Amino acid sequence: MTDRTSGLVVPDLLRLRAQADPDQVVMNLDGARTMTYSAWERRSNAVARGLRDLGVRRGDVVALLFGGLDWDEYAVAYIGVLKAGGTAVHLNDTMPAAEVDRRIAQCGVSGLIRGEQLAPPARFAGWVGTVSALDTGNGDPFDLEIGPDDISDLLYSSGTTGASKAVRVPHGNLTHGRGPEGFRQLGDPRPLVVPMQLGTTASVTTTNIALTLRATLVVVPPGDVERMAQLIEAHRAGSVMVNTMVAARMVAGRLHERYDFSSVHTLGAAAAPIAPALAERLLAMFPGAKLNSSYTEIEAVPGVVVSTYDPARPLSVGKPSPSTQLRVVDERGRSVADGELGEIQLRCDAPRRRYLGSTQTAEDDWTRTGDLGRIGPDGELYLFDRRVDAIPTSGGLVSTIEVEAAVYEHPAVLEAAVLGVPDGGDRRAVVAVVVLASPDALAELPGFTARRLAPHQVPERFVPVDALPFSPNGKVRKRELRDWLTAAVTA
């Protein structure tokens, strides 16, 4: 096997880590079973051989269909596909059948590896296997025939504001800045609790992070905050991944009154900004912790803007990482002055991700995020809104992020989402959908938000619901809410 010290591909990271820390537990699955780096390396080698025997070669697209907490089998299948030269497409058992079919057709999937308990898609005509069926039993080192420019994954955007889009990810993008020299700076060894659903872009990111992380990943079901709390206490976790859904449910459950969170020093958020009032309630439950967040776009990774929550700058998303360049531009692509609103663009020197079918050239090296923001006097980025979510009104463009921040300040608001809804004419009304601790609070919200917002920002309606629709990575599915509210208006 070629000894790679430069131009790494993703399987190289696992090989190097298995050599350095063979017996370290990389994953703990809900406290039930574990997997070490050496086991991951051996089993993925055996599966890669099985895939080669099936005829999988460099550039073939293979889908992974897993669910529940089958993370170890998923991780083995994923790296096995990459070692065989394939490109992975990630699916899970909660996706609608039509969406599964769409992704399989769009990506040109030739074969599929499924969880033992899952049935293959009814319309799929390619080969289908399981990890156990593909395992040849030969875990010896495997000769890789891929390079940094080969495509490791076709990842899909979250689809919270529109149809999910596929992004082509080269190996060199995922290995950029990583490798043996990075293993010496892996951070805190205490466990990291991760509430994550398999078969998503977030689960791919998490699996890749595990290749260079010092801490064991303790994986829990994405919506079970009670189980999260149990495992945080049981494992004396140092870090916990959170999102708006998890934060809201933890706060509502007052879990800190029943569990010991004193070991936690870091809460990490990446899916979407957490409203300041919700962030402060969460931090009050973890008195020894800080809340770190990262802002990026699926096509811009590893370009990222990072921050630690500061109540003095509650809506800041921070400054670019050392390897990331940031600019805010007008509609003609010209940089705007600090303080002016424009589109956020990111750039880094890693091999570029590109949308499937993109016609961008190598010179188009800035990633357009589709988000609006401004650079503040402190040099930090302030996210205004997704362009598709911002609401045009007669008084000016309304940021749903800013309005949500004000709504969350009411102590009875457990969850909130603000969106623009057609009112039967050409305009859009500002509407807040809320989950309340007490129904009596509904009457207080108009006056409460009017004291905190400009007149054109105040929601015209507050719609109570039992729960908001969240995506697997904790983002509110605003498109679903908008369709539901629009239908109610036009009915």
Pairing of strands 290-295, 266-269: parallel
Task: Report the mean per-residue pLDDT for the chain.
Answer: 91
Grouping H, G, I as helix, E, B as strand and the rest as coil, residue 107 is helix
CA 229 to CA 320: how far, in whole Å? 32
pLDDT the model gives residue 359: 62
* pLDDT confidence band for 1 (50 / 70 / 90): very low
Torsion of CA 181, 184, 188, 193, to 10 degrees: 50
Q: For residue range 24-53, what is the model confidence (pLDDT) as tens digits?
A: 999 999 888 999 999 999 999 999 999 999
Residue 130 banded pLDDT, cuts 50, 70, 90: very high
Q: Check whether 2 has a pLDDT greater than 50.
A: no
Q: With bands split at pLDDT 50, 70 and 90, how would you rate the model's confidence at 490? A: low
Q: Is 381 left (phi over 0), alpha (psi -120 to 50) or beta?
A: beta
What pLDDT is stored for residue 3 in this prediction?
A: 42
Q: How far is the C-alpha of 12 from the C-alpha of 491, rounded, in Å?
A: 57
CA distances from 486 to 379, 389, 424, 465 (A): 39, 15, 9, 16
Q: Class of 391-490 per CATH?
A: alpha beta
Q: Give the pLDDT band of residue 491 (cuts 50, 70, 90).
A: low
Averaged pLDDT, 53-57: 95
The per-residue pLDDT for 5 is: 45
Per-residue pLDDT reduced to its tens digit, 305-344: 999 999 999 999 999 998 899 999 999 999 999 999 999 9
Predicted confidence at residue 487, as pLDDT, reads 80
The predicted pLDDT at position 82 comes to: 98
Instruction: Tell me the whole-structure pTM to 2 decimals.
Output: 0.91
Q: Is 161's pLDDT higher than 70?
A: no
For residue 424, the model assigns a pLDDT of 67
- Arithmetic mean of pLDDT, 77-89: 98
Q: Residue 367: is its pLDDT beyond 70?
A: yes
Angle at 390 between CA 196 and CA 241, to 5 degrees: 20
User: Helix H segments across 145-243?
Assistant: 171-175, 201-210, 225-235
What confidence tier does 117 reach under pLDDT thresholds 50, 70, 90? very high
DSSP assignment letter at 212: T
Radius of gyration of the chain (CA): 23
C-alpha count within 13 angstroms, C-beta hemisphere, residue 13: 23
How far apart CA 29 and CA 71 sit, in angstroms, is 7
- Section 373-382 average pLDDT: 95
Planar angle of CA 180, 167, 383, nearest 5 degrees: 90
Q: Which residues are 220's β-sheet partners?
A: 195
pLDDT of residue 474: 82
Q: Using the CB atoms, write b or e for 359-378: b if 16+ within 10 Å.
A: eeeeeeebbbbbbbbbbeee
Task: Report strand pairing: 290-295 vs 342-348.
Answer: unpaired
Query: How far apart, in whole angstroms, are the C-alpha atoms of residue 419 and residue 463?
Result: 11
d(CA 284, CA 288): 9
Q: What pLDDT sits at residue 284?
A: 97
CA angle 75, 239, 232 (to 5 degrees): 90
Please give the pLDDT value at position 363.
52
**pLDDT at residue 172 greater than cutoff 80:** yes
* In the chain, where the domains are located: 10-175, 391-490
Question: Quick one: average pLDDT of 336-359?
Answer: 90
Of 78, 84, 75, residue with least CA distance to 50: 84
**CATH code of domain 10-175:** 3.40.50.12780
